[in-house]
Amino acid sequence: MEFNKQDALNQGLAKWIIKQKKLLNISAISEETGVSRTQLNRVLEGKADFNNGHFNKLFPVLKDWFGLTEEQLIELVQDAAKILAFWNQKGGVGKTTCCNSIAGVLTDQGKKVLVMDCDYQGNSTSLWNIDKQAFPMEIMDALEDTQGELIRDCIVQLHDISEQLYILPSYGKLNNLETSEKLTTKQKLESFKNIVNKIRFEYDYILMDMRPDMYGLFSEAPLGAAEWVFLPVEASLFSFDGLSRSVSYLKERKKDNPLLKIGGAFFNRTKPGKNQMEQIENYALGAEREGIYVFESIIRDSVGIQKAFTYRYDPTVFLNKFNEGEIADFPKTQLEPIKNAKSDFMELTTELLNRIQNG
């Protein structure tokens, strides 16, 4: 992803201020720079960011007072989030399920994760039971704000699930992306990249749950922001032609986003049985001949996933909540499928992280 250097500097400065909090005299800085104390305090509380105007006032003074350099600020934000998209042109293959279950595993490992609901159907949003009354802002509001000031107000922290899990909800307005008159076509294409650039220094992972489209803005704009794209494929639906077409399309996308890497395809909803295993192996061989990485880890068809989801949790979060005594009405004897589902997603996540590290 090409970084906007100024965005990195603005966010680096916010991080620096927070880090140096105890040594800084906020009143004196405010007086000298003209940046309000309210703004400085909001940044210190993690509730706001600096814009270019703030930066231009603050940096020369802090450089003078503390010898602060641009390199120091860039270094502070080098651990930018990895941006992973879950996509397949086919509907119903498990994009939402896998994207959010991987988010569950990553947060359980202590990572700070944002799930971006990039689908106007809002399935990730309803999975985590986001209350639209309480959190009315959504992804489309952030995309239409070319100044990039609304994005943080649109993100919901899932306090009652994990302090590490955040979601950028979608309540349906995203369906108007193509017709929106607030943005030019070029702005629409760059809109996802712009919001991701604003926040990518604040998370370890940003996972994009995409809708099943292959043409137009709905896939081009989110894929313009992604670093990696992973394709869940359903063994029963899987056709090599379909995957091949999807991958050709993704290769096309690299023209707009040269940093986009195709992380590979993984099987979802596999059912035990010799026939299916043979089928999977054949498909995998075919895909590999085309240069498509196929995951060794597979996600089994599981009532455990569906059960966890009826409680509005992914399997990992479900088990945590169960162990914390928060799901009292669930019989212990029926936990096995959920444990299996969690273990499938843990394996898949490990393989996925290896892919990212080696790529």
Ligand X SMILES: Nc1ncnc2c1ncn2[C@@H]1O[C@H](COP(=O)(O)OP(=O)(O)OP(=O)(O)O)[C@@H](O)[C@H]1O
Q: In the block, which residue shows the tokens 């089994």?
A: 300
Give the C-alpha separation, 196 to 143, whole Å.
10
Q: Which of 96, 162, 194, 219 binds ligand X (CB under 6 A)?
A: 96
**Between residues 97 and 164, which has the closer beta carbon with respect to Mg ion?**
97
Cβ pair 37, 119 in contact under 8 A: no
Q: Which residue has the tokens 């359903």?
A: 234
By CB under 6 A, tell whether 314 contacts ligand X. no
The sign of the torsion formed by the CA atoms of 185, 186, 189, 194 equals negative
Q: Of the two residues 119 and 145, which places its CB atom closer to Mg ion in the complex? A: 119
Q: How far is the CB of 18 from ligand X (least distance, A)?
A: 37
The minimum distance between CB 24 and ligand X, in angstroms, equals 46
- Nearest CA among 113, 33, 241 for reference residue 25: 33
Is residue 203 within the footprint of ligand X (CB under 6 A)?
no
Told to check if 97 binds ligand X by CB under 6 A, we report yes
Nearer to ligand X, 166 or 309 (CB): 309
Closer residue to ligand X in complex, CB, 36/306: 306
Q: Which is nearer to Mg ion, 125 or 257 (CB)?
A: 125
Q: What is the C-alpha to C-alpha distance for residues 299 and 340, in angstroms, rounded to an integer?
A: 9
Residue closer to ligand X, measured from CB, 118 or 156: 118
**Residue that the structure tokens 């899987």 belong to:** 238
Query: What does 284 bind: Mg ion, ligand X, none (CB cut-off 5 to 8 Å by kind)?
Result: none
- Whole-number minimum distance, CB 302 to ligand X, in Å? 4
CB of 354 to ligand X, least distance (A): 21
Of 192 and 309, nearer to ligand X (C-beta) is: 309
Is residue 123 involved in binding Mg ion (CB under 5 A)? yes
Q: Mask: binding to ligand X, 114-143, rule CB under 6 A, as x and -?
A: -----x---x--------------------
According to CB under 6 A, which one of 36, 146, 184, 306 is a site residue for ligand X? Answer: 306
Non-local CB neighbours of 240 within 8 Å, separated by 6+ positions:
283, 286, 287
> Considering only residues 62, 85, 93, 174, which one is a binding residue for ligand X as defined by CB under 6 A?
93
From the list 199, 145, 140, the residue with the least C-alpha distance to 7 is 199
Among residues 123, 323, 118, 325, the alpha carbon closest in space to that of 223 is found at 118
- The distance of closest approach from Cβ of residue 95 to Mg ion in the complex, given in angstroms and rounded to an integer, is 5
Beta strands in 136-279 (DSSP E): 156-157, 165-168, 205-210, 228-234, 261-270
* Contact between 175 and Mg ion per CB under 5 A: no
CA angle, 113 as apex, 58 and 312 as ends, to 5°? 135
Helix axes 315-323, 303-310, angle to 10 degrees: 60
* Interface with ligand X in residues 211-270 (CB under 6 A): 211-212, 268-269
Rg (CA), the chain: 22
What token pair was written down for 230? 């992973």
Helix (H, G, I), strand (E, B) or coil at 92: coil
271 binds ligand X (CB under 6 A): no
Give the nearer residue to ligand X in terms of CB position, either 50 or 309: 309
Q: List the 228-234 sheet strands across, edge first.
A: 156-157, 165-168, 113-118, 205-210, 82-86, 228-234, 261-270, 299-300
The verdict on 299 binding ligand X (CB under 6 A) reads yes
244 binds Mg ion (CB under 5 A): no
Q: Closer CB to ligand X, residue 1 or residue 103?
A: 103
Which residue from 58, 77, 81, 95 is in contact with ligand X, where contact means CB under 6 A? 95
Q: Is 120 helix (H, G, I), strand (E, B) or coil?
A: coil
Among candidate residues 131, 133, 134, 151, the one with its CA nearest the CA of residue 142: 151
Among 34, 91, 216, 258, binds ligand X (CB under 6 A): 91
Task: Enumerate binding residues for Mg ion (CB under 5 A).
Answer: 95-96, 123
Task: Enumerate binding residues for ligand X (CB under 6 A).
Answer: 91-97, 119, 123, 211-212, 268-269, 299, 301-302, 305-306, 309
